[in-house]
Structure 1
């Protein structure tokens, strides 16, 4: 539904601007009221699925309308491009509204929407300050995670974490894995990894993550989380060195924007150490998703064309661990 509606909105950018402006303004009003009142009921006006899907929908619309390819075809910038800034500000404000552990899935849903917008419009957004606290909080905790037999949390379908998951190993590992992946996706986006200033951009990110890993090593029971973050730090530093080596031979300065843009366009992100690492993560997550889907499928479904039971796809396959 989002994809179909976004196609309709991008048929006429001028007409779509009025609709988009009004709806994004409504999101801003809800957030402003929550910031003013600061009550449980006011927070519920923002911390709900409707708000998340509204933000996600408008990032899809703006991503489709303001993509480089679409604007090149039009020969000019989209009339919707000025709405990118207010939508990003609203989204970042919603992430900061209730910064507690139970709201991390909500924060990551909004972060995914911003990532989509960045990747399609080539717009730089300082998303790291919103993701790093999620990642470092699990490592900096003074208490060791509790053992639990509950199933891993599905972050795709969760908005607020059930109470029984808090301070458990299952949740800590899931949060670190998900936040690390989102941070890696952010750092491999065009406006970040493709920037000539990438080595400087990642300095505070690497410093914060190294402090978190050091704190985790002093505690107990955080080995897997620390290894995940440490591996990401190593790939980030390798990518920073890769960009530093690549830009060593350039002869232009920061004021020559056309040459900088030409250099950045030539950066092949998939060839960077971090780009290769993210590609491996994506394949692993996709494989895991397919295994979960196969395992959750019921063995049979009723085929109404011949009124007989037919086997679901993949029923006869054996799921092997490798």
Structure 2
């Protein structure tokens, strides 16, 4: 420990290169502690204690970026690729580049060995400061991107954010060198992670969705190009289902992967829908979602149709565009499953957020009927409330009001009739609210002055429907909380607070590391102490790649796996073959890899 402290003191006081070399040598040993070494110079270090190893790791990761920048005459923070290219032609770079390569290479080795989320987050957080150095080492850059993508999709919330911030900083500082690769990698990793959904995993998927949308802000024109390709692929899958009308083609659309991809782009449109670079994507995405909702118009797919309606409402609100959502909802009310008495008893509480299709037995339960009718009222209220200040509200709401009255006459459930009558009363009250104002104006519907119609009332939320929908949201939230402890609603994505983003962008002066790498030390010690014969067998075995890593390296995502609700009940009684969900990308040209001295082994 005294030796390590003397190195650190020598670096701070004398600014000599010898202590830096010694610290990096100790850092290499700490990262390879599980491996045998016959070098006499490292004999004392290979037996380092847990405290010494932790000190070496923390000191190196915390201070090495500043040391290397000082040696290369680089800015203390940040920097762009162009600046490093200038530095590469200097004498200092040729003299000290091996130190940079040693630091990055050994850190990469350590990341591949770590299993504790705190260790990985700490390492990525401090390595983010050295992102500019990757411009000189393309081989390291590719490997680090793959590692970060794996941690982003499989890690905890903290680790996912640390990986996201590392990738974002790489793209900001290096630009096109890794931007396309990161966009494709993030999307593929997201697709692979959302094959199955439950109330718990839904939160993680939504968090990844928010991180991906935040990542688009790095370069919106480039994000638009990738979004166009991926949305076009979704459209081609839907077109195939509409043309072929087979169970295999339907299954490609009615699965969690496809729906979660639609929700990803819906969130992107909701955030960037008014940006000139992103607004053109709203129309094709709306057409795809509408087609998905109408593809198989049966009661068993009520949950999927409701998700599509929520997405359409989000797009309409973000782009201030009218989308005829009411017809999708009113068609659901006219299906016989909601107009006949429940013969399956009360049934289990129906959570429409975590399924795409319900069983035939669930269709006949009272809880399912209540969940469907409540969802229709909520989403129809949201749709009409958006246009409750429009000069044409009376015309927009006339047909929905007529069909709701017909439902009230036909339904035999008093509770449904009561809720529908309340919605009808609010629609009529809102019509009177807008018609009263219409009687005092003289401009035509095509006049630009219509945009200022009821503008003050809209800002204050004074319309009857707006107030009514606010109460509906509270009731819906209470229902969801009663169904599951994790209240996860589409359209209420977990946000990335400014504080969270700011903390990752600042230097954490008070972070001393503590006992961060204790688990890493124990892990390497156990590996080192394994019997030779066991270790030899493990070396001979080829380590299989994880699914996430394969998804990142391949242009085709792995074969689809049916979600639990679809697995039990396919669309008909015949078995369904496996299908593939291909990511459409340009085939890269094969180039011969030329290893430079800078990209060689550490």
- Whole-Å separation in 2 of the counterparts to 1:63 and 1:10: 13
The equivalent residue for 1:28 is 235
Task: Work out whether 1:53 is the aligned partner of 2:244.
Answer: no
Distance 1:294 1:36, change over 3 A: closer
- Whole-Å separation in 1 of the counterparts to 2:441 and 2:390: 14
- For residue 108 of structure 1, the aligned residue among 306, 310, 318 is 306
CA contact (8 A) 2:347 2:365 kept: no
Deviation at 1:138, TM superposition (A): 5.5
Equivalences, count: 279
**Residues 55-90 of structure 1, C-alpha deviation per residue, up to 9 Å, x if partnerless?**
1111111111124xxxxxxxxx51211111111011
CA contact (8 A) 2:299 2:337 kept: no
RCO comparison, higher one (Cα < 8 Å, 6+) = 2
CA contact (8 A) 1:139 1:212 kept: no
1:1-322 matches, cutoff 5 A: 1-67=208-274, 77-137=275-335, 141=339, 143-189=340-386, 192-216=387-411, 220=412, 222-257=413-448, 259-268=449-458, 270-293=461-484
Q: Which structure has the larger Rg over C-alpha atoms?
A: 2
- Whole-Å separation in 2 of the counterparts to 1:140 and 1:214: 13
- Whole-Å separation in 2 of the counterparts to 1:274 and 1:44: 38
CA contact (8 A) 2:351 2:483 kept: no
- Whole-Å separation in 1 of the counterparts to 2:254 and 2:362: 19
CA contact (8 A) 2:309 2:325 kept: yes
- Structure 2: where are the runs of 5+ without partners? 1-207, 488-602
Deviation at 1:13, TM superposition (A): 2.2
Instruction: Give the TM-score, by structure 1 length.
Output: 0.81
CA contact (8 A) 1:139 1:225 kept: no
Which deviates further from its counterpart, 18-27 or 261-270? 261-270
- Whole-Å separation in 1 of the counterparts to 2:333 and 2:252: 26
- Whole-Å separation in 1 of the counterparts to 2:215 and 2:284: 22
**Residues 194-215 of structure 1, C-alpha deviation per residue, up to 9 Å, x if partnerless?**
3210111011111111111111
CA contact (8 A) 2:408 2:420 kept: yes
SS of the aligned residue for 1:96 comes to helix
Distance 1:63 1:233, change over 3 A: same
Distance 1:193 1:295, change over 3 A: closer
Instruction: Give the TM-score, by structure 2 length.
Output: 0.44
Deviation at 1:9, TM superposition (A): 1.3
CA contact (8 A) 1:139 1:213 kept: no
CA RMSD of aligned residues (A): 2.0
